């Protein structure tokens, strides 16, 4: 019988049925767990492995253990991404724009020359801090949100987009905007270092200061104009309708593996696609000479100072130390930016550089000079280390090396027992202060003395200093 709220005990048959259903449910639960483990995404397992590898690499770095090649490469990638996050999207060329004279390299140079100069102080010159850059090389990369055009964050290949950089001449900012819009409209892609694919790798922009027009170079990920095909042709056609350009060039750079160089340097890698037939020309109006200032030639495949307005002051300062009638040798001479402004002072000047294109630029510029001055100037093609044979005939040596500084062969020629034992004056224009410190130290040991030095902030905002240094013995 039943009482309210109570029930009869289960029958044996009901007990057996419940036990059977419970066993089925338990089996099903165990099967679901096994299936979930079996079907778990591979990425989860990989994530665990990656985490363990990171921990292992971190421990190895702390304990001094040797890392494998893969571990070293991955460590560099992680460090690169960390630096990019720390820098953020800020323009790396403007880090010290608030006070360029407090940049670490400027302060280091002041300390160095305090202990080197005895008869005078080390003066640092600062020009315009905005709109000074008339030459720019900008990376173009494929990004998640479209085309990225700008500079790499320090120590990384992460692009900081700078369509409107305060340091750039206004024409460069306008040019970047025009190129970006044209690329987006036509579907031209930026280069991807991860896949090795894409169209546009870099932009090189040179401003003709007298007109404000831009010589544009498109560094294209292809071996030739034919290989570049329709995307390049369409982009040039679109850009050529704009009055901004002096000329449009292509540099065909098909490398698919990681390379740090911006351009391909093969002679057939450069091609003019549109615009002026004459090379872009510039006069250094800030460096007064008693003859018509030479018109320097700057096609896209030669070196040009990014801040010509400030570099004019260096050339003007250097002229003060060249005595009339001097026999001058200039190494690392480029297109003759310095030497062509000494024609009235020298008995002879031999300029040289390893870029095979520079000689044509130099000779084109000398064609504008009076015959009397033109005959004093000559050019030799070759690296600085191959030109030291001309030093025994020189009274003055001018050097303007790249950031790595003087070649060992050049320093050796200036030391006791070297081929330039009779030389008494070296005018050193440096764009790499650490290398200048090293070279000055070596020359001092060989009997040279620094008698004058000046600093020029050519890149306000960056940690950089151009230095003009006079050494005598």
Q: What is the pLDDT of residue 5?
A: 38
Q: Is the pLDDT of residue 210 over 70?
A: yes
Q: Is the pLDDT of residue 83 over 90?
A: no
71 token code pair: 């571990």
224 token code pair: 């030739």
Mean pLDDT of 84-113: 84
Mean pLDDT of 217-238: 97
184 token code pair: 């987006």
Q: What is the pLDDT of residue 124?
A: 98
Is 26 or 147 the better-scoring residue by pLDDT? 147
Mean pLDDT of 22-39: 57
**Number of neighbours of residue 205 by Cβ within 10 angstroms:** 23
Q: pLDDT > 90: what percent of the chain? A: 73
Q: Are 214 and 207 in contact (CB under 8 A)?
A: yes
How many angstroms separate the CA atoms of 368 and 375, rounded?
A: 12
Q: What is the pLDDT of residue 283?
A: 97
Nearest residue to 202 via CA among 216, 182, 187: 216
For the question of whether the overall pTM of this predicted structure is more than 0.85, the answer is no
Is 286 or 89 the better-scoring residue by pLDDT? 286
Phi, psi of 348 (to 5 degrees): -155, 150
40 token code pair: 């778990």
Residues of 378-395 as b/e, b for ≥16 C-beta within 10 angstroms? bbbbeebeebbebbeebb
DSSP track, 122-174 = -EEEE--SSS-B-EEEEEEEEETTEEEEEEEPTTS--EEE-TT-TTB-HHHHH
Q: Are 158 and 152 in contact (CB under 8 A)?
A: yes
Q: Predicted confidence band at 32 (pLDDT cuts at 50, 70, 90)? A: low
By CB neighbour count within 10 A (0-12 exposed, 13-18 middle, 19+ buried), where does 224 fall?
middle
Q: Looking at 49-53, 126-130, 444-448, 452-456, which range is the least confident one?
A: 49-53
Q: What is the pLDDT of residue 112?
A: 97
pLDDT per position as a tens digit, 410-441? 999 999 999 998 899 999 999 999 999 999 99
Q: Predicted confidence band at 224 (pLDDT cuts at 50, 70, 90)? A: very high
Phi, psi of 142 (to 5 degrees): -80, 125
Q: What is the pLDDT of residue 168?
A: 96
Q: What is the pLDDT of residue 256?
A: 76
Q: Is the pLDDT of residue 84 over 80?
A: no
Mean pLDDT of 299-318: 97
Q: Which residues, 6 or more positions from 418, have their beta carbon under 8 angstroms from its beta carbon?
A: 412
How many angstroms separate the CA atoms of 430 and 311, rounded?
A: 12
Q: What is the pLDDT of residue 8?
A: 46
Q: Is the pLDDT of residue 51 over 70?
A: no
Q: Is the pLDDT of residue 71 over 80?
A: no
Q: Predicted confidence band at 259 (pLDDT cuts at 50, 70, 90)? A: confident
Is 361 catalytic? The answer is: no
Q: What is the pLDDT of residue 420?
A: 94
Residues 161, 361, 431, 469: which is the catalytic one?
431
How many angstroms separate the CA atoms of 249 and 272, rounded?
A: 4
Q: What is the pLDDT of residue 49?
A: 55
Is 29 or 193 the better-scoring residue by pLDDT? 193
Mean pLDDT over the full length of the chain: 88
Q: Predicted confidence band at 254 (pLDDT cuts at 50, 70, 90)? A: very high
Q: Looking at 6-15, 338-347, 389-398, which range is the least confident one?
A: 6-15
């Amino acid at each position: 019988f039943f009482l309210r709220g109570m029930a009869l005990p289960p029958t044996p048959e009901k007990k057996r049925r419940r036990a059977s259903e419970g066993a089925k449910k338990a089996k099903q639960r165990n099967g679901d767990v096994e299936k979930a483990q079996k079907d778990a995404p591979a990425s989860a397992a990989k994530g665990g492995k990656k985490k363990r590898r990171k921990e292992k690499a971190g421990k190895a770095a702390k304990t001094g253990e040797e890392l494998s090649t893969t571990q070293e490469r991955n460590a560099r990638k992680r460090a690169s991404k960390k630096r990019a996050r720390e820098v953020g999207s800020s323009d790396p060329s403007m880090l010290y724009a608030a006070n360029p004279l407090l940049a670490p390299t400027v302060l280091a140079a002041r300390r160095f020359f305090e202990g080197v100069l005895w008869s005078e102080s080390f003066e640092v010159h600062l020009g315009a801090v905005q709109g000074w850059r008339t030459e720019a090389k900008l990376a173009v990369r494929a990004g998640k949100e479209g085309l990225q055009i700008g500079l790499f964050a320090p120590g990384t290949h992460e692009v900081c987009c700078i369509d409107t950089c305060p340091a750039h001449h206004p024409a460069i900012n306008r040019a970047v905007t025009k190129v970006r819009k044209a690329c987006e409209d036509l579907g031209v892609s930026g280069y991807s270092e991860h896949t090795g694919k894409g169209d546009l790798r870099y932009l090189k922009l040179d401003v003709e200061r007298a007109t404000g027009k831009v010589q544009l170079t498109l560094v294209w990920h292809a071996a030739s104009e034919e290989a570049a095909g329709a995307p390049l042709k369409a982009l040039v056609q679109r850009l050529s309708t704009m009055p901004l350009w002096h000329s449009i060039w292509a540099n065909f750079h098909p490398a698919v593996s990681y390379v740090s160089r911006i351009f391909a340097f093969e002679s057939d890698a450069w091609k003019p696609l549109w615009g002026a037939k004459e090379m872009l020309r510039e006069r250094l109006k800030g460096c007064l000479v008693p003859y018509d200032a030479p018109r320097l030639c700057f096609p896209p495949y030669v070196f040009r100072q990014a801040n010509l307005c400030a570099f004019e002051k260096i050339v003007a300062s250097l002229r003060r130390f060249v005595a009339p009638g001097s026999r001058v040798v200039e190494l690392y001479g480029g297109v003759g930016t310095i030497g062509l402004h000494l024609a009235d002072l020298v008995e002879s000047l031999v300029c040289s550089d390893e870029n095979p294109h520079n000689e044509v630029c130099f000779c084109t510029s000398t064609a504008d000079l009076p015959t009397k001055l033109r005959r004093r100037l000559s050019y030799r093609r070759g690296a600085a280390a191959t030109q030291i044979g001309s030093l025994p005939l020189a009274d003055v040596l001018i050097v303007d090396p790249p950031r790595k500084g003087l070649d060992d062969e050049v320093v050796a020629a200036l030391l006791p027992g070297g081929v330039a034992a009779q030389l008494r004056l070296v005018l050193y224009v440096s764009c790499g202060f650490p290398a200048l410190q090293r070279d000055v130290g070596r020359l001092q040991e060989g009997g040279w003395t620094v008698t004058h030095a000046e600093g020029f902030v050519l890149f306000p905002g960056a940690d950089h200093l151009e230095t003009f240094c006079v050494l005598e013995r």
